[in-house]
A = this chain, B = another copy of it.
Amino acid sequence: MVLEFRDIINIFKENDNFLILTHKSPDGDTLGTGFALCYFLRNMGKKANVVNSDSFPDRYSFMYEEYTPQEFDIQYVIAVDIADPQLIGSGLAQYQQEGTVDLCIDHHISNKAFAKQTYVDAKASAAALIMYQIFRYSGMEISDIIAKCLYTGIATDTGCFKYENTTPAAHIACAELMAYNIDFSVVNRKMFDVKSRGRIAVEQTVISKMEYFFDGKCSMIVLTKKLMEECGVDPAEFDGLASIPLSVEGVRIGITVKERHENVYKISVRTTEEIDASAFCQQFNGGGHIRAAGCEIHGSLDEVKAKLLEEVGKVCG
């Protein structure tokens, strides 16, 4: 049976004591969708909590600063923006077991349908966009904080409407959400413009060490464990650097090489429209999307770089 919006509204109406699961290493979309749903259910007179295997990052505190967990015996479990039970995380391992999640609302085409019921719209720019459409369909009131959470989910998952996954529906939803008191420009500043001093130091370091190949068509940054230790900042500051090599004018393939263990490197590849990142990574048994993909390569750093550059030569030569 294909789930429709009215079925989801009925689930909200007919149940109570909801636990909302968000994915590990939480981002703006899973938290925005999760807290929006929590506040919406509470406004319906239901009890609901949001949980995460990790802690809620400070930078998203504007979404949960007035949130207090409620006490109740869990009756219904909803996962949002979670494609795979693995992503629930070890801190909530009990919900990785089959039959423990009642409903999953998601926008990943790779969703494994692990929940008892699943609503996936792979064309939606964000899980928060689906949630907004459900709320609007219900005709029930959306409060300012709900609107702010939903806006944040859509804005963060689309890179502030910059990326290919941005749809007309995402723009229209945000045009409507701007009618609420959401301080969207303050949200966007926090999400896209502000960096910690640690992060700034990390970016300074990796940019200064960036290498160029094939007339500047390829750029590469290498994050060894030694380098990461020397920076003396929280290791989390080294996440999400993969877009940096591609930000240089003329670069068509930007590669980030990150040491995982001795002789094991995680490779992130970003490309412009001339090169298929997914096909590139498939050469190393990896995969992903056409402009963003990844793989793992074993060997010494020099061997790993040589293997990568041999393949780069075929697409940039």
CA distance in complex: A174, B169 (Å): 11
With a cutoff of 8 Å between Cβ atoms, the chain B residues found around residue A194 in the complex are 247-249
The reply to whether A247 and B162 contact each other, CB–CB distance below 8 Å, is no
Contact across chains for B162 and A195 when beta carbons are under 8 A apart: no
Instruction: Contact check, B247 vs A193: say whether CB atoms are below 8 A apart.
Output: yes
Count chain A residues whose beta carbon lies closer than 8 angstroms to a beta carbon of B. Answer: 39
A66 contacts the other chain (CB 8 A): no
Q: Output the least CB separation between A197 and chain B (Å).
A: 6
Question: B163 to A168, Cβ gap below 8 A?
Answer: no
A163 CB contacts on chain B under 8 angstroms: 185, 188
Chain B nearest CB from A132 CB (Å) reads 14
A186 within 8 A of B: yes
Cα–Cα distance between A223 and B200 once the two chains are bound (Å): 19
* A165 to B, closest residue via Cβ: B185
Residue ID in chain B nearest A173 by CB atoms: B171
Q: Considering the complex, which residues of chain A in the window 167-184 have a beta carbon less than 8 Å from any beta carbon of chain B?
A: 167-169, 171-172, 174-176, 178-179, 184
- When chains A and B are docked, how far (Å) is the Cα of A184 from the Cα of B162? 8
A261 within 8 A of B: no
Which residues of the other chain, B, contact A179 by a CB distance below 8 angstroms?
Answer: 168
Question: Which residues of A are at the interface with B, using a C-beta cutoff of 8 A?
Answer: 160-164, 166-169, 171-172, 174-176, 178-179, 184-186, 188-189, 192-197, 200, 204, 207-208, 216, 243, 246-249, 272-273
* Interface pairs (6), CB distance under 8 Å: A161-B174, A162-B192, A171-B172, A186-B273, A194-B248, A204-B208
